[in-house]
Amino acid sequence: MKQACVYIMASSRHGTLYVGVTSDLIARVWQHKNGSLGGFTSRYRVHQLVWFEMHGDMVSAIGREKQLKAGSRLKKIELIEAKNPQWLDLYEGIF
């Protein structure tokens, strides 16, 4: 899945959230799940892909990432629940 993408990872339903951007969603989520990136997602066990949005280019994706990071936690939760009300891990479905 080599395409610009903004994504949200969670530790659990309504748990710790992480917003990121990548050009390879499958590889990046695998890295988060396996702790190979270290840092925030490893420390807080943020391993579930709960939301993502594809973009035509990285400039657009980075702009959206900044918008989401600047927004409130409530807005992120609303975004997740609009498309994934059960907070399922979407990783298996992106192959």
CB 5 within 8 A of CB 53: yes
pLDDT tens per residue, range 41-57: 999 999 999 999 999 99
Q: Tell me the C-alpha distance between 5 and 83, whole Å.
A: 16
Where do the DSSP E strands lie in the chain? 2-10, 17-24, 48-54
Q: How many domains does the chain have?
A: 1
| pTM (2 d.p.) | 0.95
Q: Give the chain's mean pLDDT.
A: 95
The SS3 of residue 89 is: coil
CATH code, 71: 3.40.1440.10
Beta carbons within 8 Å of 37's beta carbon, 6+ residues apart: 31
Domain limits for position 66: 2-94
